[in-house]
Amino acid sequence: MDQKPSKARIFLDPLFKANPLFVMVLGTCPALAVTTSFESAIGMGLLFTFVVFCSNLIISLLRKVIPDEVRTPCYIVVIATFVTVVKILSSTFLPELYNSLGVFVSLLVVNCIVLGRAEAFASQNTVVDSMLDGLGNGIGYTWAIAAIALVREVVGAGTLTLGKVFTFIPKVTLPILSGYSGSDFSMAIPLFKSSAGGFLVLGFALAIIAAVNNYKDKKAKEKARAAKAAAAAAAKGGNQ
Amino acid sequence: MSYVVSFILAIVSYMVIDNVILSRYFGICSFIGVGNKVKSAVGMGLAVTFVTMMAALVCWPIYTFILVPANMGYMDTIVFILVIASLVQMVGFFIKKKSISLYKTLGIYLPLITTNCAVLGVVQNNTAYDFGRSMANALGTSLGFVLVIFLFACIRVRLEGANLPKAFKGVPIALIVAGIMAIVFMGLGGIIDLGSWGLI
Amino acid sequence: MIKNTYVKCALVLGAICVSSAVLIGGLNTVANIYKETHKSDKAPTQIQDLKPAGTFVEVTENLPQAVTMNSTKITFTSVWALMENGTPVGYAYEINCGKPVKTEVTFTVLFEGPAIAELPELVQPSAINVTVGGDSGYDSNVVKLADGLVAGTSTANDYSSVMSGGTKSQKFFIDGVQAARKDYASRINGQTDTVVQKTPLQDIYGDLYKAEAEDTSFTKLEATTDHCSYEITNRYLVTLTNNTTTVAYAGTVSFQDPEGETDVLKLTAAFSGDKSTVKLDGYKVTKDISWNDYKSWMDGVKAGTTSLEDENAVHTGSTLSTNAVRDMILGMRDAYVANYKSEVEKLFGDKYVSESADEFAAVTGTTDHCSYEITKRTSVVLTDGTGKAYEATVSFQDPEGETDVLKLMAAFSGDEGNAKLEGYKITKDISWNDYKKWMDGVKAGTTSMDDENAVKTGSTLSTNAVRDLLLAMRTNYYATFGE
């Protein structure tokens, strides 16, 4: 049985090492659907964080009370409650975000990450730990889909539009690969905005991360081998 | 245009042209995790079809005749997911009783149908349609799901033996293949214009 | 704790469900209250973005109707007036163009500044905000097209600026822009009753206009002359507020201009008067040409200073176009005359052949029921003999002590001692209606004029008055046989 990870580890792991999207490959549906717009992705991430945080909190609170036989339905109801809460709140205070996310707000209910964290963590850990875990996963997922969205919007549309969903920011469209006023210059690849582009971007992103991880593993292995060889040599040398 | 023909057209439209996985982004988790066993992939697809049809059949009347008149439309998500979860449980019991081997083959996938975006997505979208259209949506979506899962599993069987760079093995290449499939399906867009047939 | 697991499960699950329902129900109520109290006065972002510094006020009356264009049906979701010092200096529209494939094309557009109501093609959008450009992948071309329209590098007059890639979405978009600018062109000129476009006849008659009806029995008249070829396409019967009726014609005339181009002009012209003194009451151009001089010729005819017959009067400038228009107006005039039926003719219907006014000294009389004055008599030649038409006034005291005055025309035919009431027309009516029933009975032959008991059909006062008048007319009619 592993040592209980420290509070810092609980929070930091999901950000990079155990990133729910890039490492665990969970929650891929919204990662492809809402990432055509950078702002929408950040908005979705915020809503997601809220849901996973609150559901972790409540489920952890009730973990001793919920009988094992009905735990899945209970978790589902709790998660569905918070998803509905988030639906009502976002449709009232952030209607543009709610409209741009559409049905995927409701689909947070079946988001593998939320249910997964509830099942794997919140049901067995303290409230504070669960809150941290929720926050960590939320932020980790948010930056992951934001990164995908950034690539898809900048390469797909050529411009980066802010202020369309979060209306308290003034609307500004930054031309990057296209959209320079008065010129037809465009290096944008519209494929990235379509569904096929989503698959491709995520696929390549995961491949890159896998490559980086492989490289790190390789280096670690070499280091271990070198250390072993050095230790063996030292032992040999010591024996002489 | 007769109702039957328009129904069939709607099914084809939802199945192929606006495909649930490749175009609407539902059901991707299960899609990626389906692995390379064609038989279990198809089995999963059929189970999803059954659950989706039943869920659509049950949830639409609940929404239209109970929730909406009681002004409780906002409870739709909770009610729908509970219905789906119970349906999956019932399907599980049923399969367990009838055929243990099938149950074992499906394994973890069965309870995973509950979290399949496709099922809840279809049911949630159906709240905006009339009954005929929602059943067409459910049937078309499930058939599209089965179709793509089947094609995908076949492709993955081939991929097993391919000489891929290490980084791409597994999920990344699966996604890229899905992307290429999506491009292919994109070409079918606009063939059936539901609007011009007065179906929208 | 409760031992029985089933009960425990049910209780826990039930408790969670109930608390969830309560939480959500409460939140929903609060959210609704919030939405009510925070109903924003500001324009929605997609409108405000068109001119961030502008003040937009929603237009709630005389909203434009949905219109079917070349490719699609355009719906106006909302209309906003751009206000400056309390007056609108522009209008913004929220347009829905329908779904080319799976996703709708919707946009907002702002037009500013003056416009010519008849020339919406000249209206340039100041800003366009494509909210949904159709399916993703096609929408970028819709946005490009929108940007081009604002910059002036693309045109919305036709589909020539449509780029490949989502042509259907772009066509839908152009239709939307056309519909919006058409409404703008009339709305900015104060013609806010764009829901019901002012008809040309309403324009011609102004306050005198009461109603119009198209004469569906009219068949198109075509002709070619030295100057042009024209078609008279519609005839309208116009009722004015003084209860008279006039006739108007709509026509199209085309001719070759000096450059060899074919110019096409459409207008509606209204005529009144009887066969020998036809008058041009007014005209309204519905499709104009670049030449203007025909207008001063038509204004002269309208004022009476220029004669329609005078072909030399046409030397007012561009004789080519004026001669073309004159030919069509003459054609309309002839159609008017051919169609013209005098009041007397209408009384006799198909029997009518011709009429001539009699030298007639007014006949007055007073009876128990009324006092009357027969003012005019017309002799009429019929297909089966002769007849006479009378115009008269009759007045009587109503139960309230008021004096009611009724003016009518009545037509008689038949031999002495055997007169028949062919028809009647009320030129000034009273509030009592029952005398009409009696008159209709006399006309049909089911009621005898001589039967004073037949009058018991209701308001006997007015009917008796009218009866006395008719009896007086008939007496006069018989008297003419002796002349």
Mean pLDDT lowest for which of A22-36, A47-61, A163-177, B71-85?
Answer: A163-177
Angstroms from C165 CA to nearest CA on chain B: 12
Statement: residue A51 has pLDDT above 90:
yes
Asked whether C471 and C449 are in contact (CB, 8 A), the reply is yes
Whether A239 shows a pLDDT value over 70: the answer reads no
What pLDDT score was predicted for residue B199?
47
The verdict on a CB contact (< 8 Å) between B120 and A109 is yes
Q: How far apart are alpha carbons A59 and A79 in whole angstroms? A: 9
For the CA atoms of C339, C342, C346, C347, the dihedral, rounded to the nearest 10 degrees, stands at -170
ipTM: 0.78
**Cα separation of A197 and A199, whole Å?**
5
pLDDT above 60: residue B30: yes
Distances (CA, A) of C245 to B150, C242, C273: 77, 9, 10
CA dist C284 and C267 (Å) reads: 6
Residues C373-405: tens digit of each pLDDT: 999 998 999 888 889 999 999 998 877 788 889
Mean pLDDT, range C122-127, rounded to an integer = 88
Q: What pLDDT, in 10s, does the model give residues C12-45?
A: 888 888 888 888 888 888 888 888 777 666 677 7
Average pLDDT over residues B67-73: 76
Q: What is the mean pLDDT of residues C303-307?
A: 85
Q: Three-state DSSP class for C252? A: strand
Which pLDDT score, from 0 to 100, does residue A82 have?
Answer: 92
Question: How many CB pairs below 8 Å do chains A and C form together?
Answer: 56
Computed over every residue of chain A, the mean pLDDT equals: 83
Residue pLDDT, tens place only, C228-266? 899 998 898 888 887 788 899 999 999 888 777 888 888
User: What mean pLDDT is predicted for residues C177-202?
Assistant: 75
- Whether B113 is covered by a domain: the verdict is yes
pLDDT at residue A1 tops 50: no
SS3 string of C123-187? CCEEEEEEEEECCCCCHHHHHHHHHHHHHCCCCCCCHHHCCCCCHHHHHHHHHHHHHHHHHHHHH
Between B15 and C459, name the one with better pLDDT: B15
Work out the percent of chain C whose per-residue pLDDT is above 70: 94
User: To the nearest whole angstrom, how far is the Cα of C28 from the nearest Cα of chain A?
Assistant: 7
Minimal CA–CA distance to B175: which of B26, B24, B31, B16? Answer: B31
**How many separate domains does chain B show?**
1
Contact between chains at B74 and A204 (C-beta distance less than 8 A): no
CB pair distance less than 8 Å for C101 and B190: yes
Per CB-CB distance under 8 Å, the chain B contacts of C20 are 78
pLDDT surpasses 60 at A156: yes
Model pLDDT, residue C136: 63
Mean pLDDT of A8-28: 83
Residue C180 near residue C108 (C-beta atoms within 8 A) = no
Q: What is the pLDDT of residue C109?
A: 92
pLDDT score recorded for residue C137: 61
CA atoms within 13 A on the CB side of C457: 20
CA distance B54 to B61: 12
Per-residue pLDDT of C308-365, as tens digits, reads: 888 777 765 567 888 888 888 888 888 888 888 777 888 888 888 888 888 888 889 9
Test the C interface: residue of A65, A72, A91 with most C CBs within 10 Å: A65
Chain A residues touching residue B24 (CB < 8 angstroms): 33, 195
- Residue B102 CB contacts under 8 Å (≥ 6 apart), including other chains: B43, B95
Residue B200: predicted pLDDT: 42
Tokens of B92: 């599980």
- What's the rounded mean pLDDT across residues B142-152? 87
pTM: 0.58
> Which chain C residue has the Cα nearest residue A182?
C151
In angstroms, the CA C58 to CA C94 distance is 11
Alpha-helical (H) ranges within C391-459 are 434-444
Whether residue B161 is contained in a domain is answered as yes
Q: Do A69 and C34 touch (CB under 8 A)?
A: no
Question: Position of tokens 């109702």?
Answer: B3
> How far is it, in rounded angstroms, from Cα A105 to Cα B90?
27
Lowest mean pLDDT of A133-147, B73-87, C457-471, name the range: C457-471
Residue bearing the bigger pLDDT, B3 or B127: B127
Q: What is the distance between the alpha carbons of residues C252 and C236, in angstroms, rounded to a whole number?
A: 15
Identify the closest residue of chain C to B187 by CA–CA distance: C137
A32, closest residue in chain B (CA to CA): B25
| C71 vs C325, more confident | C325
C272 pLDDT more than 60: yes
For residue B198, tell me if it sits in a domain. no
Q: Point out the residue among A29, A195, A206 whose CB comes nearest to the CB of B117.
A: A29
Q: Is the pLDDT score of C475 beyond 60? A: yes
Please report whether residue B199 resides in a domain: no
User: Between C21, C99, C137, which is nearest B75 by CB?
Assistant: C21
Q: So what's the pLDDT on residue B193?
A: 57
pLDDT at B115 over 50: yes
pLDDT above 90 coverage of chain C, percent: 7
* Range in A229-233, B172-176, B191-195, C179-183 with the lowest mean pLDDT: B191-195
CA distance C21 to C160: 57
Name, in order, each residue with C-beta under 8 angstroms of C253's C-beta and a sequence gap of 6 or more. C228, C229, C230, C231, C264, C265, C266, C324, C325, C327, C328
How do residues A78-122 score in pLDDT, each as one tens digit? Answer: 999 999 999 988 888 888 888 888 888 888 888 888 888 888 888
Nearest CB partner across the interface for B74, out of C17, C28, C98: C28
C414: region left, alpha or beta (phi > 0 left; psi from -120 to 50 alpha): left
Distance from CA of A218 to the nearest CA of B (A): 12
Contact between B78 and C20 using a beta-carbon 8 Å cutoff: yes
The ranges assigned to domains in chain C are 45-187, 200-339, 346-482
Query: Which domain does B48 fall in, by range?
Result: 3-186
Binning pLDDT at 50, 70 and 90, where does residue C427 land?
Answer: confident
